[in-house]
């Protein structure tokens, strides 16, 4: 847990250590590595391996351009992004209050705990067929997939964070007769920010998994659907184009979380 | 001001003439222990604090001084006996209780200013910029308004706690070794300021300290508790006229003999 929270600081440390020149060098070397990998792939597909299996970077790039031109790229990317973001937001909106309730109502939590853990351990992927029956083949079932994958992350992390809360701080506010909403706003919520950020970091990837799994099982749009459809036709170029776009979404998501983290990393529990 | 003087004199003439602000009767407090048998921390403590009286409490560490304050602030239920403020149980009391914990309890993510403003937000009146600036200057925190607690020294954090307490404008002060982390110079200065605030507002103060000279310098009365379970071992009136100058006190035979008496009471260790 704390390792996750602190990793952002390590990043800042590296930036502080590295001067401008070192940083430019780093970027150059990363581009170099990328070129070597992609170039190697390209060469491999022209010489040793049939592109039927591994496609070819140049073909994938062509496909991406074609998809962008037809509007299909944006339609599918946007769909998957929307599913994951809505699922993540819903998991946040439901998971945080549930995590707070778990910390506040200790007996109720003790009663519910085995069931919560059982649900948490259930591979959520297996829920996809049921969700498609319940929520249909469109957007909503995928949102629920993403939601169910991330929900427990928020719930359990918030609960864990609140367990470490400084009792003296709460006692002090009690002696000052602070109303409950004041304590929640001034102490509980700020206290759990590091845990929320840690949840978000894990949650971005998991929400994407939930959405794509839902799409693979049954859908009519989205990157998962596009990958499924391409694979069905042995169109590996299509599969790789979908994977590239998924990776782009994941990277963008991580960048957003890193920004949020930098904005809020003013304090960490010691 | 004359009312203040009158109040002072009346009290030193006959301390029991006023109804008690804080009344503690036969108070005993237990803590649960790992082996299941409760551990007695305070044993049959009875104590009255008059309105406007400054009472210092000293005792060996672990004797229950912090526990006593926790009971008075309503955070802890006694095993037996009662604690009342203005004749009402501490939970129902209407007075604002300003508790200063032994440990600084600041919001780690909030700036010095925001931490002090907590007191104002929960207190009786809004604190405007000017008043906040005054408070910060008085606490010698100028230039640190935007700093967060982890960027401050222990003494500075304790001063922020004091600022929050003052912004809350308590009607009763419960202070648990508030200046324990300060160097002796700052400690003396803070003590002087506490006395200034106290004499201007006439609030009852229960002040826990392990510094005997500080206790005698500041207080109207010094209570000495025994080792755990804490009982009252000595309850002595400090009849030294105010304002008191710590430098002159140090050579005052009455001051020295009081310090001596408190030391004596602390030294008695029947358990050993
Ligand atoms: N929450 C608690 N649970 C169990 N024992 C406690 C608790 N708080 C304090 N104690 C014990 O009660 C005794 C008195 O504590 P305290 O009032 O903090 O002493 P003091 O402030 O005089 O040093 C100590 O021996 C301490 O170990
Ligand atoms: Mg103590």
What is the per-residue pLDDT across B15-53, written as a single tens digit (0 to 9) for each? 445 578 999 999 999 999 999 899 999 999 999 999 999
Give the span between the Cα atoms of B83 and B10, in whole angstroms: 25
Q: Which of B56, B103, B73, B101 is nearest to B209 (CA)?
A: B56
Q: Measured from the CB, is residue B229 less than 6 Å from ligand 1?
A: no
Across the A/B interface, how many CB contacts are shorter than 8 Å?
51
- Say yes or no: CB of residue B164 within 6 Å of ligand 1: no
**Is the model more confident about B230 or about A268?**
B230
Shared domain for A45 and A73, answered yes or no, is no
> pLDDT tens for residues B151-177?
998 888 988 999 999 999 999 999 999
Question: What protein residues have CB closer than 5 angstroms to ion ligand 2?
Answer: B 66, 102
pLDDT band at B183 (very low <50, low <70, confident <90, very high): confident
Task: List CB contacts (< 8 A) between B107 and chain A.
Answer: 169, 186-187, 190
User: Which tens digit of pLDDT belongs to each residue from A207-256?
Assistant: 999 999 999 999 999 999 999 999 999 999 999 999 999 999 999 999 99
- Residue B41 CB less than 6 A away from ligand 1: yes
Task: Judge whether residue A125 has pLDDT over 80.
Answer: yes
| B89-to-A17, A179, A219, B45, B68 alpha-carbon distances in Å | 59, 20, 66, 16, 15
pLDDT-derived band at A4, boundaries 50, 70, 90:
very low
Distance CA B62, CA A220 (A): 70
B263 lines ligand 1 (CB under 6 A): no
What mean pLDDT do residues B93-121 have?
Answer: 92
pLDDT above 80 for A142: yes
Q: Are residues A120 and A180 in the same domain?
A: yes
Together in a domain, A149 and A230 = yes
Q: Are residues A41 and A79 in the same domain?
A: no
Mean pLDDT check: name the lowest of A103-107, A139-143, A260-264.
A260-264
> In chain A, which residue's Cα lies nearest the Cα of B169?
A176
Q: What element of type H or E holds B83?
A: strand B80-85
pLDDT band at B138 (very low <50, low <70, confident <90, very high): confident
Q: How far apart are CA A24 and CA A12, in angstroms?
A: 16
Measured between beta carbons, the chain B residues lying within 8 angstroms of A170 are: none
Q: What is the count of structural domains for chain A?
A: 2
B65 alpha carbon to ligand 2 midpoint, in Å? Answer: 6
- Is A172 in Cβ contact with B101 (below 8 Å)? yes
Smallest Cβ–Cβ distance between A168 and the set B105, B108, B121 belongs to: B105
Minimal-distance CA residue of chain B relative to A193: B109
User: B104: which chain A residues are within 8 Å (Cβ-Cβ)?
Assistant: none
Same domain for A119 and A235, yes or no, is yes
Rounded distance, CA A112 to CA A105, Å? 11
Interface probe with B: pick from A176, A177, A186, A187, most Cβ of B within 10 Å: A176
- Whether A68 and A120 share a structural domain: yes
Gap from B97 CA to chain A (nearest CA, Å): 7
Are residues A69 and A6 both part of a single domain? Answer: no
Q: A65 and A7, same structural domain?
A: no
Pair A149, A210: CB distance under 8 Å: yes
Across A83-92, A119-128, A170-179, B13-22, least confident range: B13-22
Which chain A residues contact residue B97 at CB under 8 A?
A: 175-176
Please tell me the predicted confidence (pLDDT) of residue A55: 95
Probe site for chain A from B94, B107, B151 (most A CB atoms < 10 A): B107
A37 pLDDT more than 50: yes
Contacts of A177 in chain B (CB under 8 A): 96, 122
Please state, as a whole number, how many other Cβ atoms lie within 10 Å of the Cβ of residue B260: 13
Q: Which residues on chain B are in Cβ contact (under 8 Å) with A176? A: 96-97, 99, 118-119, 122, 168
What is the pLDDT averaged over residues B82-107?
90
Question: What is the structure's pLDDT at B196?
Answer: 87
Whether the per-residue pLDDT at A90 is higher than 50: the answer is: yes
pLDDT of residue B205: 96
Co-location of A17 and A118 in the same domain: no
Does the CB atom of residue B217 touch ligand 1 within 6 A?
no
Give the mutation candidate from B85, B108, B160 for the A interface (greatest A CB count, under 10 A). B108
- The reply to whether residue A166 touches residue B99, judged by beta carbons under 8 angstroms, is no
3-state helix, strand and coil shares in percent for chain B, rounded to the nearest 5: 40, 20, 40
Give chain B's length.
272
Share of chain B above pLDDT 90, in %: 62
Q: Show the CA angle centred on residue A39, arms to residues A37 and A42, nearest 5°.
A: 110
Report whether A254 contacts A204 (CB < 8 A): yes
A146 and A42 inside one domain? no
Paired sense of beta strands B88-89 and B172-176, if any: unpaired
Residue A143: name the closest of A74, A95, A86 by CA.
A86
| Contact B74/A at CB under 8 A | yes
DSSP assigned state of B230: B
Question: What distance in Å separates the CA atoms of residue B123 and residue B95, rounded to the nearest whole number?
Answer: 11
Cβ of B57 closer than 6 Å to ligand 1, yes or no, is no
Domain around A38:
1-49
Q: Are strands B54-58 and B204-208 parallel, antiparallel or unpaired?
A: parallel
User: Residue A98 corresponds to which tokens in the numbers above?
Assistant: 């549930």
Taking each helix axis from N to C end, the angle separating A72-104 and A106-121, rounded to the nearest 10 degrees, works out to 150
Residue B20: asked if its preceding bond is cis (omega within 30°), the reply is no
Q: Which residue intervals of A122-138 are DSSP H helices?
A: 128-135
**pLDDT over threshold 80, residue A16:** no
- Mention every residue, 6+ apart, whose C-beta is less than 8 A from residue A58: A42
pLDDT digits (tens, 9 = 90+) for B219-271: 999 999 999 899 999 999 999 999 898 889 989 999 999 999 999 998 765 55
Report the C-alpha gap between B178 and B211 in whole angstroms.
11
Distance from the A209 Cα atom to the nearest Cα atom in chain B, whole angstroms: 34
The whole-number average pLDDT for the span A133-141 is 94
Cis peptide, bond prior to residue B209, ω within 30 of zero: no
Asked whether B66 lines ligand 1 (CB < 6 A), one says yes
Domain shared by A148 and A41, yes or no: no
> Cβ of B102 under 8 Å from any chain A Cβ?
no
Are A168 and A37 in a shared domain?
no
| CATH number of the domain that residue A171 is part of | 1.10.3720.10
Indicate if ligand 1 lies below 6 Å from the C-beta of B61: yes
């Amino acid at each position: 847990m704390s390792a996750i929270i602190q990793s952002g600081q390590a990043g800042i440390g590296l930036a502080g250590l590295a001067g401008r020149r070192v940083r430019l060098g780093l970027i150059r070397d990363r581009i170099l590595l990328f070129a070597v990998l992609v170039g190697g792939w390209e060469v491999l597909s022209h010489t040793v391996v049939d592109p039927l299996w591994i496609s070819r970077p140049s073909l994938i790039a062509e496909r991406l351009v074609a998809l962008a031109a037809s509007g299909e790229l944006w339609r599918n990317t946007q769909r998957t992004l929307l599913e994951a973001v809505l699922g993540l937001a819903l998991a946040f909106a439901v998971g945080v209050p549930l995590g707070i309730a778990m910390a506040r109502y200790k007996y109720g939590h003790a009663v519910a705990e085995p069931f919560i853990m059982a649900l948490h351990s259930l591979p959520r992927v297996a829920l996809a067929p049921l969700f498609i029956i319940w929520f249909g083949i469109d957007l909503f079932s995928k949102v629920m997939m993403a939601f169910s994958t991330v929900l427990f992350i928020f719930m359990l992390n918030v609960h864990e964070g609140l367990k470490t809360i400084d009792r003296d701080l709460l006692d002090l506010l009690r002696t000052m007769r602070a109303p409950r909403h004041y304590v929640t706003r001034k102490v509980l919520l700020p206290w759990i920010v590091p845990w929320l950020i840690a949840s978000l970091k894990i949650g971005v990837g998991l929400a994407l998994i939930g959405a794509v799994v839902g799409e693979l099982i049954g859908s009519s749009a989205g990157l998962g659907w596009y990958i499924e459809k391409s694979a069905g036709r042995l169109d590996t170029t299509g599969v790789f184009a979908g994977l590239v776009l998924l990776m782009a979404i994941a990277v963008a998501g991580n960048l957003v979380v890193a920004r949020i983290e930098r904005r809020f990393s003013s304090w960490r529990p010691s | 001001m004359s009312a203040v003087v009158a109040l002072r004199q009346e009290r030193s003439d006959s301390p029991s003439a006023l109804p008690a602000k804080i009344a503690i009767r036969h108070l005993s407090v237990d803590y649960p222990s790992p082996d299941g048998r409760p551990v007695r921390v305070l044993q049959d403590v009875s104590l009255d604090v008059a309105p406007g009286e400054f009472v210092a409490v000293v005792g060996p560490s672990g004797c229950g001084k912090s526990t006593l304050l926790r009971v008075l602030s309503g955070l802890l239920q006694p095993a037996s006996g009662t604690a009342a403020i203005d004749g009402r149980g501490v939970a129902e009391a209407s007075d604002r209780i300003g508790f200063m914990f032994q440990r600084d309890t600041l919001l780690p993510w909030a700036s010095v200013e925001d931490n002090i403003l907590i007191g104002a937000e929960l207190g009786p009146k809004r604190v405007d910029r000017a008043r906040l600036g005054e408070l910060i200057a008085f606490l010698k925190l100028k230039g640190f308004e935007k700093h967060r607690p982890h960027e401050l020294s222990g003494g500075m954090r304790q001063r922020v706690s004091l600022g929050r307490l003052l912004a809350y404008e308590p009607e009763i002060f419960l202070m648990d070794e508030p200046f324990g982390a300060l160097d002796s110079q700052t400690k003396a200065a803070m003590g002087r300021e506490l006395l200034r605030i106290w004499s201007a507002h006439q609030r009852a103060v229960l002040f826990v300290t392990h510094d005997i000279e500080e206790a005698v310098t500041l207080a109207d009365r010094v209570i000495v508790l025994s080792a755990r379970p804490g009982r009252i071992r000595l309850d002595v009136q400090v009849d030294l006229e105010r304002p008191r100058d710590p430098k002159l006190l140090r050579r005052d035979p009455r001051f020295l003999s009081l310090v001596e008496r408190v030391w004596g009471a602390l030294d008695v260790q029947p358990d050993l």
